[in-house]
Structure 1
Amino acid sequence: MNIIIKSLLFISIICLSSCTNNSNLAEPKKVSLIDYIDKSDLEKYGFSANDIENFDTKIKDNGVFANDYKSYEVNGFTILSSTENTEHIFILKNNKFIATFDDQSRSLYSTQTNIPTRLDAIVTYIPEIPSLSYSTNKLNHYDLNLDGIDIISEIIPSDDKGLDYFSAELLGAPNLNIVEASINGKECKALAGSFACCLSSQESYDAYKFSYQDGWISLPTNKKLNTICNAEDFETSKHELKNKLFLK
């Protein structure tokens, strides 16, 4: 994890030092993120041929894609800086997004990322909390306070795959459903959403909820969840709660 954080900080330092040393930069041109998106590759995001044809029209009013980015070419890298949100910066190599950061987070992407969303981020670091999240094999791992993984969740796709992109970009995160919980050495089992059940000293299970800023929080007064945690047919009750949370 330290290597990942150092990589994120290294890219941030390079970008900031390059952008501030204007004497080495050509006069920036004004661009949109759309200029760097290969629309022929959008099918992998679930967009239909008709969606792709109308892509520009559909998102022209989306502030994320506004034509207000300045493009700088620096040592083989392209750096995009928003004139509206000067702290929001994208970094590209060979016209593919490899990193982005703003005043809240730093993200790294694979070398083949077409659209820079949280669904495509390999790792995201939020220094203020601090926290680190990374995705592997459709699982999201989240480490609050950088002291070990607290929760592992599966990424739940939308029935409309094209909606996944907009949900991640506009709402900030994909749907996540817990598959493993780690709570202060307790013996726990995953429930659904961001909930877990942990064995208490009375040999019964107590419900917990995970907050991405505060960590695991006990829910002793939530009768519904505590009943599910101690249900005789736990797996059936767990499946029913998951369906309700994700409207299946």
Structure 2
Amino acid sequence: MVAGSLYLPKEDKLKPRGEDAHFICREENTIGVADGVGGWAKRGVDAGEYARDLMTYSIIALHNQPKGAVDPKMVLYQAYSNTKAKGSSTACIITLTANVLRAINVGDSGFKVIRGGKIVYQSPIQQSSFNCPYQLGNDIGHPNIAMDLEVAVEAGDIVVAGTDGLLDNMHGSEIEEVINRSMVEGEEDPQQLACSIANLALYNSFDKYTDTPYSLAARKAGHAHRGGKVDDITVIVAFIRKT
């Protein structure tokens, strides 16, 4: 798995690092994203610290796993146990073993698998109600609420993972379009592709009139909202080279 990423924190002078975090571990074919829950700001807590610690401890847990036999659930459990910061976060950790993607997911971060220019799988989200995702945190949410996911993949597949800043602002068809255009142009750099996807998500987040996944879900839940959702945006793109 060859991966690249881009993180675009929303503009906030009090929290210049934003509330998202992510990692790419090339040695173990594993990637992860986390999104600190912004509601903690009302209590004076920067949930981005929780998300960053969770991803840092995930990397440490990865290196404690048997080489070539990563269990994303165990990684998340160990990271959760070691994260003591205040706040809470969504999380998604994905690893490639042979021809299978194994993932553990909590909340509304997630991933899609693209094959031949079409999305063939997208991870389900977990939320108690509109814009209220399941989350991990001390005395709030435990990894036992996480979903275990497995997806068979093939050489040539592309994995796009991200926080809700991506998934709320881009339809699957838009992600497909960006990927297909890059393939036609011969662009096979996951870093550049992550940049292209993230920047379109950013553009959509500021568009007050377009129908985004977020605005459609908001109206379905009875909220008057149109346009994008300004948020931190994390995108990881991974190419499956061979399985």
TM-score range for the pair, normalised by the shorter chain length: under 0.3
User: Whose radius of gyration is greater, 1 or 2?
Assistant: 1
Of structures 1 and 2, the one with the larger relative CO (CA 8 A, separation 6+) is 2
TM-score by length of 1: 0.28
TM-score by length of 2: 0.28
